[in-house]
Structure 1
Amino acid sequence: MIPTIEELLKEITFKTSRSGGKGGQNVNKVSSKVELIFNVQETLLFNEDEKALLLERLKTKIDTEGNLHIVSQVDRSQLVNKEISIIKFLDLLEKSLTVKKKRKPTKIPKAVIAKRLANKSVIAAKKQNRAKPTID
């Protein structure tokens, strides 16, 4: 179960820095790059099973201290980049906390097996008719 946005925002920290890319002099003056940092190991919003699932599925995005880092520098505005990083974070949590259903193997219906065998016999007869006749 994913907590509400308000609960998550209480445990999220944001770090800003100067962004690269387009913007001219604005790039040199304004810190528009936003980095969202969320500590998975110390959060109180998830139980131990959910924390283990997050740590396993997001291990490439989590550093040694257990912090999840999400960076956004798409827009020139710091506020827009902050909103984009929050949306990325919520989407990442939702995808990594969903548990896939286990596939139940089913038996092949008898009609399908009979149809396959009938088709095999038709093809075998067709190939038999192509053979050169034997002289006895």
Structure 2
Amino acid sequence: MIRVTDHIALDETELVEEFVRASGPGGQNVNKVATAVQLRFDVRRSPSLPNDVAIRLMRLAGSRLTTDGVLVITAQRFRTQERNRADARERLIAMIQEAAVRPTPRRPTRPTLASKKRRVDAKKHRGAIKSRRQGRPEE
């Protein structure tokens, strides 16, 4: 079990890891060893995620989400499989933790009387400046 938050834990079997060849640095190994990791996590069918968290995660994932609702994270920052694997898992956990935070609802507010007065005074002042320009010949 991978602990994400106090209430959310992922089962290892829900993660599918595929190792592919990475682009970028790697020396002689770059053409021989598959060090990059593609981590796949089925957000839509995951029993570990509450529905509201899954919806927020799908919105957060953006283009990393397939049409089937599978989140794909590619990690190729490091030269070893182990470090890329850990990096991919950390990024998944960070995304789920971000999705787990319930957004605070916006409370509609009304402008104060003082702010309304300041706005009207500023408009009157600006109008007065413009009205004084009238009647002057252009130079």
Query: TM (normalized to structure 1)?
Result: 0.71
In 2 relative to 1, CA 86–118 (structure 1 residues): closer, same or farther, beyond 3 Å? same
Counterpart of 1:29 in structure 2 is: 32
Q: Kindly state the Cα deviation for residue 17 of structure 1 after the two structures are TM-superposed.
A: 2.1
Deviates more, 1:34-43 or 1:4-13: 4-13
Aligned to 1:110: 116
Gaps of 5+ in 2: none
Instruction: Determine helix, strand or coil for the equivalent of 2:64.
Output: coil
Gap runs ≥5 in structure 1: none
The structure whose Rg is larger is 1
Tell me the SS of whatever aligns to 1:131. coil
How many Å separate the matches in 2 of 1:49 and 1:30? 40
Query: Secondary structure, in 3 states, of the residue corresponding to 1:115?
Result: helix
Whole-angstrom distance in 2 between the partners of 1:65 and 1:131: 69
Aligned residue identity for 1:119? H
Which deviates more from structure 2 when the two are superposed, residues 6-15 or residues 84-93? Answer: 6-15
CA-CA distance at 1:123 after TM superposition: 0.3
**1:13 matched to which residue of 2?**
16
Which amino acid counterpart does residue 42 of structure 1 have in structure 2? R
> Please, what is the CA RMSD of the aligned residues?
3.1
Q: Following superposition of structure 1 onto structure 2, how do residues 1-136 of structure 1 map, counting pairs within 5 Å?
A: 3-4=4-5, 7-8=9-10, 10=12, 11-58=14-61, 60-98=63-101, 99=103, 101-102=105-106, 104-107=108-111, 109-128=115-134, 131=136
Output the TM-score relative to the length of structure 2: 0.70
The Cα shift of 1:121 comes to: 4.4
Q: Distance in 1 between matches of 2:74 and 2:126?
A: 58
Q: Is the 8 A contact 2:39 2:73 kept in 1?
A: yes
